[in-house]
Amino acid sequence: MTSFDNPRLLADIGGTYARFAVETAPGRVEHATSLRCADHADFHAAVTAFMDMLPTGRIQHAAIAIANPVEGDQVRMTNYHWQFSIEQMRQRLGLDTLVVVNDFTALAMALPRLQPSQRRQVGGGMPREHSVIGLLGSGTGLGVSGLIPAGDGWVALGTEGGHTSFAPRDDRELAVLRYAQREHRHVSFERLLSGPGIGLIHRALAQHAGHPPGTLSAPEITRRGLEGSDPLCADTLQVFCAMLGTAAANLAVTLGAMGGIYIGGGIVPRLGEYFDRSGFRARFEDKGRFSDYLKAIPTYVITAEHATFVGASAILAQQLRTLEASGASVILDQIQRARDNLSPAEKRVADHVLAHPRSALNDPIAAIAKAAEVSQPTVIRFCRSLGCEGLSDFKLRLASGLTGTIPVTHAQVTGEDTMLELGVKVLGNTASAILQVRDHLNRETIDRAIDLLTAADRIDFFAVGHYRVVADDAQFKFLRFGVASGSYTDPRLQVLAANVLKPRDVAVIVSSSGSVEDLLEVADAAHRRGASVVAITASHSALARKADVALIVDHVEDVATHVPMVSRILHLLVIDILAVGVAMRRGAQDALPGPTADALDETAPKAMPLEAHRSAPGVSTAGPLARLTSHSR
């Protein structure tokens, strides 16, 4: 049994709030914290902010419940802009295990573990032992799930049942449907049984009653409805609860949920006893020939404060047990089967990997060879005996088995690498970094940056040191679009240039660290002149805090030992995104007087030897790469 030597991170990520906690022992949840998603650039930033609040102590395992379907490695939230790779996130957070599941799948797994005091029954009915259980709940959306008994445990259903088509039951609900069809091509239950849905029902009932449409928020509608101070708000809550009764009954007959229907989410538990007195249960049982069938099924409101954490913890514990019992990896099984056919030296490598798979995943070849008491070439021969091209390929396959995802890794270049291996590692590291930036792009900040640049009278780019080529490349691109632009890479000129900016101008500051004093002074000078500041920089940096819009590129390179190649490429690609966005907004052909798009292609610099680039004034050495990226999009 996997022990609690280290605390485990639990999270419940919704469209508005990200809730975190730490499980320090089975069932003991501490440090529960709720963070607004809007206050953090991406999922990694939110997790990091929470972990920074914790006492010292390494977290090895984490379970994330998220309001989104989870299929494969890539997670893209439906009701918010966060997206990430599970395996890359595991590596960035330094975790051994990261399990990501749908939030209602996690909540469903909590149901068998709830105490009687953590639920409240609404109406009659008795649960049948070892029977299917249904779950739904309203919040930012409408989550739907279920539990099927399987031996001594349960199988949770991952569904998108909230998107089933809404069916009205009376004239009032028919009026709501007709009103909703004016706003949505498909009216699902989620469109109405959610926070935004409460506002939609309120507007529809106002029109049905001949009143002007209101603009009240869902919390305000709920407050007035519970107080009884506003008849229209009271009607809205009544209709909401009755509609939820229809949805719950449909789920009960669809699943055959004789174990009961549970109501969770962020809305219904806050209604308290009002929900018990509402038309929910009467509508639930009003099923014609199947009314007696529904009357036998109990309905419960979940009152447990951290029920989703309970389910996420159960899923994580099961995952760890499975990994521990099975050895976790197909390649480990392959090693075990092939062991008898290996040479004595290769057997020692096999035994080391089988005994310490995570150590073998992270250690360099020298450490593996020393631990197995063999030479480094023997480690390579061992990898190739398993059908792998080399140690890097072996580690990819090993990581895939240990974590359940295929990782994009950063491979360290060593003196033992052949020229082919060196090329593969350099290109692989660059591709990994690009994919990581792609997965953490924030579309809201990109939109805001492009809006500022599109409306600007002038755009000046500021950078120092190794990143001067990024500013020069950006100036070249924007001049091609007919935008007045400048590139300032000399610290003596930068503040002077910032001091002549105007209110409709934009200063774009490029800094990998975000802590260069000269560039921070440029940001201050630009703001004093009324200009806007867009920063391409690291998260949580001083420059990011000063900028009106911060485009985050978190890629650390040791500038003391080598030129920062990868991070410059990342900054160039962000400039490409901005340039393409501005071109699309302005219309590239209309923005440039005279030349057509074909003419622009004729005048654009062509690929040339590196020496020619070095001698061509005003042309970045990364220009062809950046142009190719833009055209390929």
Element (H, E) at 62: strand 61-66
Domain CATH number, residue 263: 3.40.367.20
Give the 3-state DSSP-derived string for 7-19, with helices as H, strands as E and coil as C.
CEEEEEECCCEEE
On whether residue 602 sits in a domain, the answer given is yes
Please give the Cα distance from 554 to 371 (Å, whole number).
34
> Which stretches of 374-455 are DSSP H helices?
376-385, 391-403, 419-439, 443-455
Band the pLDDT of 94: cuts 50, 70, 90: confident
For residue 456, the one-letter residue type is: A
Please report the DSSP string for 202-271 in residue order.
Answer: HHHHHHHTTPPPP---HHHHHHHHHHT--HHHHHHHHHHHHHHHHHHHHHHHHHT-TT-EEEEESSHHHH
Are 270 and 154 found together in one domain?
Answer: yes
Tell me which of 203-212, 313-322, 514-523 is least confident: 313-322
Are 39 and 74 found together in one domain?
Answer: yes
> Which residues 6+ apart lie within 8 Å of 351 measured at CB?
339, 372
pLDDT attached to residue 584 = 87
Asked if residues 523 and 512 have their Cβ atoms less than 8 Å apart, the reply is: no
pLDDT attached to residue 426 = 65
What's the gap between Cα 586 and its chain centre?
31
Phi/psi-derived region of residue 54, left when phi > 0, alpha when psi is between -120 and 50, beta in every other case = beta
Query: Which tokens go with 74?
Result: 């890539």
> Which residues 6+ apart lie within 8 Å of 560 measured at CB?
none
Count structural domains, the chain: 4
Are 395 and 249 found together in one domain?
Answer: no
- Nearest of 527, 567, 569, 563 to residue 545 by alpha carbon: 527
For residue 267, the one-letter residue type is: I
Are 574 and 628 found together in one domain?
Answer: yes
Query: Which tokens go with 110?
Result: 């909590």
Q: C-alpha angle 384/387/389, rounded to 5°? A: 60
On whether residue 110 sits in a domain, the answer given is no
- Tell me the per-residue pLDDT of 409-449, one tens digit each, with 9 for 90 and over: 344 445 555 666 556 656 766 776 676 676 566 777 888 99
> Which stretches of 300-418 are DSSP H helices?
307-326, 330-338, 344-355, 357-362, 365-372, 376-385, 391-403
Question: Average pLDDT of the chain?
Answer: 82
Are 250 and 338 found together in one domain?
Answer: no
On whether residue 423 sits in a domain, the answer given is no
pLDDT attached to residue 522 = 96
Asked if residues 512 and 463 have their Cβ atoms less than 8 Å apart, the reply is: no
Domain CATH number, residue 72: 3.30.420.40
Please give the Cα distance from 175 to 168 (Å, whole number).
9
Please give the Cα distance from 33 to 11 (Å, whole number).
9
User: Given a cut of 50, is residue 70 above it in pLDDT?
Assistant: yes
Q: Terminus-to-terminus CA distance in the chain, angstroms?
A: 49
pLDDT attached to residue 466 = 85
What's the DSSP call for residue 577? H
- Tell me the per-residue pLDDT of 360-416, one tens digit each, with 9 for 90 and over: 877 888 889 999 999 999 999 998 888 777 787 787 777 655 654 433 334 444 555
- Nearest of 194, 195, 192 to residue 181 by alpha carbon: 192
Provide, rounded to the nearest whole percent, the portion of the chain with pLDDT above 90: 49
Question: 551-558 contacts: CB < 8 A, separation 24 or more?
Answer: 551/442, 551/445, 551/446, 551/449, 551/578, 552/41, 552/42, 552/45, 552/440, 552/442, 552/445, 553/437, 553/512, 554/440, 555/433, 555/436, 555/437, 555/512, 557/512
- Pairing between β-strand 119-122 and β-strand 299-302 as defined by DSSP bridges: antiparallel
- Tell me the per-residue pLDDT of 77-92, one tens digit each, with 9 for 90 and over: 877 888 888 888 888 8
> Which residues 6+ apart lie within 8 Å of 175 measured at CB?
204, 205, 207, 208
On whether residue 59 sits in a domain, the answer given is yes
Sheet holding 505-510, edge to edge: 484-488, 458-462, 505-510, 532-537, 549-552
Query: Which tokens go with 19?
Result: 């809730």
Are 97 and 157 found together in one domain?
Answer: no
Are 130 and 184 found together in one domain?
Answer: yes
On whether residue 422 sits in a domain, the answer given is no
Strand, coil or helix: 442: coil
Torsions phi, psi of 287, nearest 5?
-130, 30
pLDDT attached to residue 130 = 87
Asked if residues 35 and 17 have their Cβ atoms less than 8 Å apart, the reply is: yes
Are 298 and 345 found together in one domain?
Answer: no
Query: Which tokens go with 351?
Result: 């035994």
Asked if residues 203 and 211 have their Cβ atoms less than 8 Å apart, the reply is: no
Q: What is the pTM of this model?
A: 0.54
Band the pLDDT of 472: cuts 50, 70, 90: very high
Please give the Cα distance from 313 to 13 (Å, whole number).
15
Please give the Cα distance from 319 to 328 (Å, whole number).
10
Domain boundary residue among 59, 82, 103?
103
Are 351 and 295 found together in one domain?
Answer: no
Q: Any idea which residue has 């440090």 for tokens?
A: 31
Range of the domain at 31: 8-103
User: Given a cut of 70, is residue 609 above it in pLDDT?
Assistant: no
pLDDT attached to residue 610 = 34
Band the pLDDT of 621: cuts 50, 70, 90: very low
Are 95 and 126 found together in one domain?
Answer: no
Domain boundary residue among 363, 392, 407?
407
Q: Any idea which residue has 């500051």 for tokens?
A: 509
Domain CATH number, residue 515: 3.40.50.10490
User: Given a cut of 70, is residue 56 above it in pLDDT?
Assistant: no
What's the gap between Cα 334 and its chain centre?
34
Please report the DSSP string for 263-301 in residue order.
Answer: EEESSHHHHTHHHHHSSHHHHHH--GGGHHHHHTS-EEE
Q: How does 250-260 read in b/e, with b if 16+ C-beta sit within 10 Å? A: bbbeebebbbb
Asked if residues 508 and 519 have their Cβ atoms less than 8 Å apart, the reply is: no
Please give the Cα distance from 205 to 178 (Å, whole number).
11
On whether residue 319 sits in a domain, the answer given is no
- Tell me the per-residue pLDDT of 323-363, one tens digit each, with 9 for 90 and over: 665 544 567 777 887 888 899 999 999 999 888 877 787 78
Provide, rounded to the nearest whole percent, the portion of the chain with pLDDT above 70: 82
Cβ neighbours, 10 Å, residue 628: 12
On whether residue 270 sits in a domain, the answer given is yes
Band the pLDDT of 594: cuts 50, 70, 90: very low
> Which residues 6+ apart lie within 8 Å of 245 measured at CB?
279, 280, 281, 282, 283, 284, 286
On whether residue 585 sits in a domain, the answer given is yes
Q: Which position has the higher pLDDT, 624 or 12?
A: 12
Please give the Cα distance from 219 to 283 (Å, whole number).
24
For residue 413, the one-letter residue type is: V
- Tell me the per-residue pLDDT of 554-593, one tens digit each, with 9 for 90 and over: 776 544 444 567 788 889 999 999 999 998 887 744 544 4
> How many CA atoms within 13 Å lie on the side-chain side of 57?
13
Asked if residues 552 and 545 have their Cβ atoms less than 8 Å apart, the reply is: no
Q: Any idea which residue has 């036998």 for tokens?
A: 296
Are 168 and 95 found together in one domain?
Answer: no
CA distances from 252 to 38, 135, 499 (A): 36, 9, 68
Please give the Cα distance from 122 to 454 (Å, whole number).
56
Query: Which tokens go with 232?
Result: 């229209």
Domain boundary residue among 407, 426, 455?
407
Q: Which position has the higher pLDDT, 76 or 165?
A: 165
- Tell me the per-residue pLDDT of 218-227, one tens digit each, with 9 for 90 and over: 999 999 999 9
Are 550 and 471 found together in one domain?
Answer: yes
